[in-house]
Each structure stands twice: as structure tokens, then as C-alpha cells.
Structure 1
Amino acid sequence: MVDEQLADGFETIAIHVGQEPDPRTGAVVVPIHLASTFIQDGVGGLRDGYEYSRSGNPTRTALETSIAALEAGAVGLAFSSGMAATDTLCRTVCRPGDHVVLPADAYGGTYRLIARVLGDWGVEHTSVDLTDLAATRAAIRPGSTRLVWCETPTNPLLTIADIAALAGVAHDAGALLAVDNTFASPYLQQPLLLGADAVVHSTTKYLGGHSDVVGGALVVNDADLAGRLRFLQNAAGAVPSPFDCWLVLRGIRTLGVRMDRHCANARALVDLLTAHPAVDLVRYPGLPGHPGYPVAVKQMRDFGGMVSFTVRGGSAAALAVCGRTRLFTLAESLGGVESLIEHPATMTHASVADSPLAVPAELVRLSVGIESVDDLAADLRAALDELPSAAADRE
């Protein structure tokens, strides 16, 4: 076990906590324990608590320990996807007849799960602008609201919610506050320290960081909640493989340095976008004119690698930009070392196209990678320069 006095800085924690050298061989990288079952020293005599890999695996334990430390939490749980983590939390906290408050611009997959899957189970929901605390209080149903679900920054509109203020609203009503921290990563934001009850991650994104693994995680402080989550994790079985856990651990080791570059590159591209004549509006919480900027400054270390913007010319122009970039790869997902571009209305958020959560058709979302920022800027500028609105401005 790493001496806590020596593992105080985030980057040190990311490299060492949960990832200590193997005590038997001295290997400095956590081994991949591929075993599905473990020998017992007599009936019920478990070695280090392991019996069957759905219930627990040493590589998964390393990942869960690491993620809990990164989020300054007590207990981490790893899952086969971010949606599996979300589903486990919702089914643990809610029962038929209960109610969930969602952000008005929730991630499409989360909305689909709560509205169409848990909705069929009898869980009700209300979508509300979480930046409006009065509206959020009004959306809570006394006695039945069990969960306030927060995403900050949101996907893809990059809205910023005040985690500490929302925790107060939720707790006053006897509800829990869950924060999807995928976009920020624990390097930029630690919701548990701001009063949240649960943190959710798609470890597919920044924690994994290399677009080669799908996974999810929960981090909580309450021991009773952790026990109930652990029960459903094992009972439902949506757990990651040892190799998937190892891949996320590998990514976590470089999370700090990667996030620094993601943020720096994003800031540079925001400057390009705000000055380009074909761009109508840039959504980035690091812009002083962003409505959430004061809150972002208060609760985030930096502003992240996600940028969204609208272009003049509507959906056709947005689709054209997405199809013209060469370094920005047209693909869903985010948080990898490579830069991605997508059209949310027809890609990641198609599931909310006919709902109140529908996103603007002219919106483009960037996941800014860690390539040379000059190359990224040249690629994006070339795609924008070809739009008719840019040509008209030059004339």
C-alpha cells in the first residue's frame, strides 16, 4: 500500500494508488488476472476474498481502488459500460413509483434509459434546467423524488451546473445527487467534495483515454449505499473483464498530462472558432461569456477538451463541416487521444430527436485530442472556410 503522505498529488495518486507493484513478482504494472474462478482453502475459505470473477477480481479491485482515490471517495465500483453503471445506480436508489429529476439537456443514452427502460418499470422523471435552482426545487416531488441526476458539463451543450448548490437542493428534499463526471474527469472536478452522493463515469472516455475499451464506474462515500450497489453489481453481473480493467488502469496513469493537453488544445481552437465568420456561437465553459463560466471557475481546475459550436447555414452546413475534416475523425464517443468530430442531432443524440431534449440541427461537437494544435487548427479552419457563409464574408 502506498504511503498516503507520499501520494497526495493527483498525478501521483493516478500512478500509484491501486497500482502498487505486484508483491509476489515485483512487476510494476498491475497483472491481468484472467482467472474466472479461484481456489478455496476449504469450503468458504477464500483467499483475499476472491471466489468467482463476476463477484470480484484482483485486476478489477485495483481499478476500483484507483477510481475511488481519484474521486476522493470511499468506494469505487467498475462496470462493463457507463450505462451499466447508470442503470445500477438508478435501480438501487429507485423503485416503481419513484421519481428522478434530469437535466433539460441530458445525454441521450441516459434519457433513453430513464424515460424508456426505467419508465416501463414505473420510474417517472422530469427534465428541468438545473442551472435554475428554483425550477429544480419545483420539479422535485416530495416523498417520491429519490434522485437528482446532474451532468456538468453537459453533452453536447456544455451547460455548467452548480454541484454544491444542487446537493443542497437534493438533500433538503431527501433525495440523492448523482453527478456524471465523464466530461470533466476527476482531474478537473471532484463532485463528492462538493456534496454529491454518487459520481458516475463512462471510463470509455477520458479515464481510458485511448478509444480501445468500453467501461463504467461509480464512486460513493456512504457504506450502506455502496453495499447495495455492490449487491446489484454482482447480482446483475454487468462487470468489466480483467483486460478491460487493465486498459482503463493503463489510461489512468497518464490522465493528468493528457487532460492538460486536451484543455490547452481546446482553448486554442475556441479562439479560432470565435473569430471565424462561418461560426455563429461557440459553447465552451472557459469563455467568460458562457453563462456557466463563474460556476466553472469555482468548481473546475480547467475547462475540458469538449467544444461545441453552431454554424451559419443550418444542418446542411454542420453536416458539411463534419464531412470535410481530415484530422478530426467523424465518429461518436469522446475523450481519446485522437480528435473527433460529430453531428449530435443525427449521431449521439438521435434518440432524443423528437423529445424536449432535442439538440440544435446546426450544432457540431468536437472532442479535442492531444495532436499538434497547429495541425488541428489548420484542419478545422479549412473545413469551415469552404462553407458558403465564410465565402460570403470574404466577398
Structure 2
Amino acid sequence: MSHPLHGAGVQLLKILSNHAEVIMKAYLNGHISELELTPSQLKKLMDAQILWRPEAGEDLRLRRSVRQLLESGLADERGRQVDANIGSRLAVIRTLVANYKEALHRSSYREADIFLEELAEARYGLTESLQRSVRGLWNRIHNEFGYVATVSAKIRENQLAQSQVDELLDQLELIRFDEMAELAGSDRELRRLLIVSLQRSHAKVSHELNSAQSRLLVLLGQFREHLERSQLLKGFTLFVSQNPDYRIRDYTAEPIPNDLFNQATSFIQPAAINVNEIDHQQSLLEIVAKLKRVSELANSSEKRKAQTFELEQQQLINVQAEPIKQAVDDYFCHVIESGQNTSALAFLEQKNYPFDGELWLYQVIAGYEGLTLSEQAYFAIDKHGESHPDYSGNFVIKDVEMGLR
């Protein structure tokens, strides 16, 4: 850093500190008259490029750079401008990268370090500009555009903010990371500045802008709803002012309330079965079983009343049952003949049937479920197993034991 530049910077900061009252007055009012300043103050502030006169005869105003400094430091919501000029910043970054590579090629490492520092400053300035724009948008959203008084003005400010979000998103598309990777090449510092940190900032800003856009749409709907209500109220106020003899009717004295005032919802919601509730599963199965039984009884009684039959010579049809079904019938007959509880797997091993154990248990359970309710009443079935360790509510059957009641 050169010494003359250091001294000029210190002198500028001193001028800002010594004339803080004048600068803040110009910032809050937007302008300041030269009659409020002494000749020495006017000369110092004009020479330091802090105040300037736009046209002859106009009051003095703050330079845009000084105003932006105050807006950023004070987080002033009135500074509603969004900096979306990313293209020019990217052009500066490309130029500095070219200068940095050229200095390295000439082995001028001191000059290369200076260009790298300027590149880092430009890169961080780009990120800071994006973050400041997003922060300004969120400040306006959280305050619901409280710096304007009317709902119509809030709607216009909301639409302006949406256009600024769209512009920022369009500008973010100018950052092409394939181009940045080509610019950085194999240089470690360039890849850190142009790819790693820039990509992280790009993703964060894009996410914030998408969230802000969604919130702006919600606020716009609320503002329009408020505007409709306010217009309705203004219309009613205008009607009352034009008709001073108008009196609101006492609707509470009428025997039948008007439909407009009869909009109360019921306190008790209509009942509904929750089929996803596991605790109610057994009760639901019992209800369904009873409904099925009643339906079967009704159908059988109707058939008995409506149908006739004739005795004819019937042909004998021999249907050969499947081996596993025949084995299940033998198992049921064994339970009836022995009168003792018998394990299905033990019976399978005893008879040495060539069936899979799991298939055998499924067939035994299916055979029991295939019996009528009156036939099932003679048997007592017990399913041995354990609950599934991972999936609650699932019971894994290991064996079936059947006996007589």
C-alpha cells in the first residue's frame, strides 16, 4: 500500500468524522443548503467529493458512494435499490485473472500478488453485493413494506421487489462455473476464489431468492385481499354519507336468521372410521365378519323362498384333490380322532410329506379359514410365533397348533 494513498484515506475519514452532523442531516433530508455550512466546511466537503451540486441553483446533495455507505451501515430500509449489475463485475474478474496469469508467466510474483489481492476484493465485492441485495429484500418482506402507508403502495412495492428478484435470478445465470473452471485452470488460489467459495455463495443466494419470491407472492395475495376489504368499507362509508337516513336493520330481532349470519360450523365433526388405526383393527374385523354373516343368511333365506328343485339322477364326478389339500384334510382328521392338540410341523415331519414348511403352515391356516363358522367352532387353533423386530404390528408365525374345543 502506498503512503500517499494511506494518508489520503485517513484524511477522508477524519473529514467524515468531523462533519458527521452535516452529513447525517443531508442524508435524512436528501439535501442541504449551503447557507447552513461555513465556507471552510463547504470547501472541505466539496473537495473531498462528499457533497456535490447536481445543477446550478440546486441544494447540495451527498455523493452516491457516501449514501450507499450509510445505507449499508445503518441497514436503512429506504435504500430499496437492488444491485443486479453482475455482468460488469464478472468482466472485471476476467480481466484481473488474465493480468494475474500474465504476471506469473513473466515471473513477476510481486505484481501477481497485487493482482490476486484485487481479484479477491472483486470476488468478495460481488458476493457482498448479492448478499446485501437479498438482505434488503428480506428486510422489506419482514416489515411487510411498512415504509409506505397505503395498501396500494404496498402492492406496487411488492411488484417492484418481484421484478428485482427476477432480475437478480437472471443475472445469477451469467455466472457460468464451466467458464470459471477454465479461467482458474490448475491454480489453487484461483480455484478457491472462483469455484469453491463462489459456488457456495451462488447456491445460498439462489435459495434465498427463491424463498423470497414465494413469500412475496403470499404477501401480494394478502395485500390484494386487504385492498378488496378496504374498498368494500369505503363503498359502504360513501353510501352512508350519501344516504344519511339509512339505518341498519336489527337482524337479531327476526324470527329466522338471514343466511348471511347463519354460517356457524358444527362443533362435532361427522364420525368416520380410521382404517389406518391398528388398535381398531380387531373391532373392524369383527364388524365386517358380522355383516358378512348377516348377508349370507339373508341371501340363503331368499334362495330358499324363491327357488325350487327336482330330484334327478346325478352323475358322479370324481375330483382329485391336490396332495397338499388332502394332507391338510388328513391333519384335521388326525386332530379329531386323537382329540389332542397337534403341532402342524410335527405332523408334517411325522408323515414325511415333501412340502415346504412355510407353504404347509399357509395351507393349514387357509384350510381352517375355509371352514364355515359353525365348523370352526369345533376347533381351537393357536398360532405360535413372534413379533417382527423391525416392523411393528407384524406377527411372524413359526408353527400352528390345533385341537378340539
Q: Normalised by the size of structure 1, how large is the TM-score?
A: 0.21
Write 1 or 2 for the structure with the bigger share of helix.
2
The higher relative CO (CA closer than 8 Å, separation ≥ 6) is in: 1
Higher strand share: 1
**TM-score when normalising by structure 2:** 0.21
